[in-house]
Structure 1
Amino acid sequence: MVYRVRFAAARALRVAASIVLLSPAAALAADAVASDEVVPVGSAPSGWLLTVRGNVIVTPNFPGAKDYGFIAYPSLSLRRTDEPEQWQAPDDGISFALFGDSRWNVGVVGRYQQGRYRDNDRGTLYGIHDAKWALEPGLFGEFWPLADTLRVRGELRYGINGYNGLVGNLALDYVQRVGNFTLAVGPRIAVAGSEYMNTYFGVTEQDAIFNTKVAPYKAEAGVKSVGLAASATYQWNDQWATTVRGGYDRLTGSAAESPITRNLGSRDQFSIGASASYSFQLGGNGWKR
């Protein structure tokens, strides 16, 4: 198993998301400074809860790879203290809800797609063109048909840098809270347009000349993978929580038939990871979950 760390691109996405997320808190603080009104103790605005997470995940080195590496990255989330905490799957994109309530949400989302580089594995990828990392901003929507128990979520994103095209994810999660534990499991479907497919699974004439293990191949848009994801979170107290996660995806369609997958990689894509989070209040009177 090959281990490596990619921080820069993932951190750039997380920092961009944190700027968006922290802007409401900044506006709230400015309003508080500008106001001359004396607010009695206990009646002040409830403030905001900022959650800081450290994440580590082991995943395939590139889409369709058979070797694995790990990625470590930070993430942030923000909500009002008077809003109920809503469960999120560890494999959700970084998202910020713009509209909705406890049953549904619509907003913006972003993900990071790691690239594929010959320098990472010259033996396997010799002669194969590089596929650069990409940022994937987009929109998401989710709905809870059974409050706090069953969630349906969809994402539609557009790739920037590594490729220029559409990708999407559909997830269904069964969520069960048992004491301090929150357990979740559910199926996953990933779809991708031809730009994504040919960037990460296509084989050019030049690739085939320099690497005799592959033949020229043009990938088509469609379902990229189907799979399953599961997670378990333990809430130690109002501030600290830890999560373990696991997932399995089976490549399908053009992604599965690509010579890169069949001859150099694997259709079976596993992932496992863990995170720790710390929550604290910004503004307001004391701690309040």
Structure 2
Amino acid sequence: MAFLRPADLLSACAACVLLAAAGGLALAADMPVAPEVPTFAKLEQKLWIVTLTGNVQATPRSPGSDQYTAIGYPSVSIREAGTPQRFSTPDDGISFSIYDSAEFRFGVTARYVPGRYYRDDRRHLFGLRDAGFAIEPGVFVEYYPAAWLRARAELRHGVFGHHGFVGSIGLDAIQPIDRFQVSIGPRFNFGDQSFARRYFGVTPIEALVNRRVTAFEPGSYATVGGLGALTYTFSEQWAATGYVGYNRIVGSAADSPLVRRGYGTPNQFVFGAKADYSFTMPALF
């Protein structure tokens, strides 16, 4: 029997290794290559901040009235997350912006006006027609000449209770103090003859039936006054506001017999409070 020398054994092993390597390379060349695992970028979801507001206020039962009624109503506002909440006052109409920038904003608005009804005061309103509640849709514009000062104007047209044009102009100085925010400013409200006749006019027939008032036809309606509000922010979700406003009827409507003592007053106050709750939701577009 012949034995392999160590040198021959090493040569044989080296040859086997080379053959195995060559076969492995060939086999690897024939196998399909696995696709690379894709890497997905994390998408940032756009969010909205929705603010739900509950409002309650004591306001004259109708324009010029000396009796008060309670009104409660909800409202909602939506803004993109990361943008500051827009300043608003409780006497702003319910509004929706069409254009909004840091200094200028305009859009559509609407207000509710309580009505005057015979059932509310049968003694004094005997023989006088009802002046039903009104909804006043319209437009608004806001301008910020400075970050702490807002000017706002509204022009609206009544439906249901009256069909006249009315409007308001206001100026508000805004001062944040820690969690508080104070705002105060003057107000001017106006209405055309159609509005004034509805709430302050008395026809000759009404005067004859009532016997306590004389016939009167106002030419217009106007008030001057102001509003102050104090807001406290509890957290990112909750805030509360208390406010008081005063307007005095001036001009033609102030001479109406329905503004005299016993029927009404030219001094119109409003007291109220509101609570805001905010939360986030995914943007729909």
TM-score, structure 1 normalization: 0.81
Question: Where does residue 258 of structure 2 map in the other structure?
Answer: 260
SS of alignment partner, residue 208 of structure 1:
helix
Deviation of 1:100 after TM superposition, in Å, equals 2.8
1:63 aligns with 2:66: no
Contact 1:57-1:72 at 8 Å conserved across structures = yes
Identity rate of aligned residues, in percent?
40
Q: Which amino acid aligns with 1:212?
A: R
Deviation readout 1:180-200 (Å, 9 max, x if unpaired):
111000000001011100000
Note the residue ranges of structure 2 that are not aligned, 5 or more in a row: 1-39
The verdict on how the C-alpha distance between 1:72 and 1:39 changes in structure 2, with shifts beyond 3 A counting, is farther
- Matches of 2:240 and 2:185 in 1, distance apart? 20
C-alpha deviations, 1:135-194, integer Å up to 9, x for none?
Answer: 1111100101011x1110000001111111210000000000000111000000001011
Question: Of the candidates 222, 225, 236, which is equivalent to residue 223 of structure 2?
Answer: 225
Of the two, which has the highest radius of gyration? 2
Cross-structure match for 1:80: 80
Kept in 1: contact 2:164–2:192 (CA 8 A): yes
Aligned residue in 1 for 2:155: 156
Q: Name the structure 1 match of 2:99.
A: 99
Note the C-alpha offset of 1:39: 6.5
Q: Give the structure 1 partner of residue 108 of structure 2.
A: 108
Matched residue, 1:120: 120
Query: Contact (CA 8 Å) 1:189, 1:225: kept in 2 or not?
Result: yes
Cα distance in 2 between the residues matched to 1:106 and 1:120: 38
Q: Which amino acid aligns with 1:129?
A: R
**Which range moved further: 239-248 or 261-270?**
261-270
- Confirm or deny: 8 A CA contact 1:239 1:278 kept in the other structure: yes
Asked if structure 2 preserves the Cα contact closer than 8 Å seen for 1:86 and 1:102, the reply is no
The CA RMSD over aligned residues, in Å, is 1.3
Runs of 4+ in 1 over 2 A off after TM superposition: none
Q: Which residue of 2 aligns with 1:251?
A: 249
Instruction: State the partner residue of 2:17.
Output: none
How far apart are the structure 1 equivalents of 2:58 and 2:48? Answer: 32
- Deviation track 1:220-270 (CA, whole Å, cap 9, x = no partner) reads 125x10001000000000000000010010000122111101241101011
- The answer for the alignment partner of 2:214 in structure 1 is 215
Letter in 1 for 2:42: P
Q: When the two structures are superposed, what TM-score results if normalisation uses the length of structure 2?
A: 0.83
Residues 1:214 and 1:85: Cα distance change in structure 2 (over 3 Å): same
Moved more, 226-235 or 157-166: 157-166
SS class of match (2:153): strand
**1 CA distance for matches of 2:189 and 2:270?**
15
Match of 2:194 in 1: 195
Question: What pairs with 1:26-65 in structure 2 (closer than 5 Å)?
Answer: 40=42, 43-45=44-46, 47-65=47-65
Give the letter for the 2:245 counterpart. G
Residue pair 2:220, 2:253 contacting (<8 A) in 1 also: no
Number of corresponding residues: 243
Q: Look up the match of 1:17.
A: none
Query: What amino acid maps onto 1:182 in structure 2?
Result: Q
* Higher mean C-alpha deviation, range 82-91 or range 225-234: 82-91
For the residue of structure 2 that corresponds to 1:123, the secondary structure is coil
Alpha-carbon separation, structure 1, partners of 2:41 and 2:181: 38
Q: Which AA in structure 2 matches 1:48?
A: W
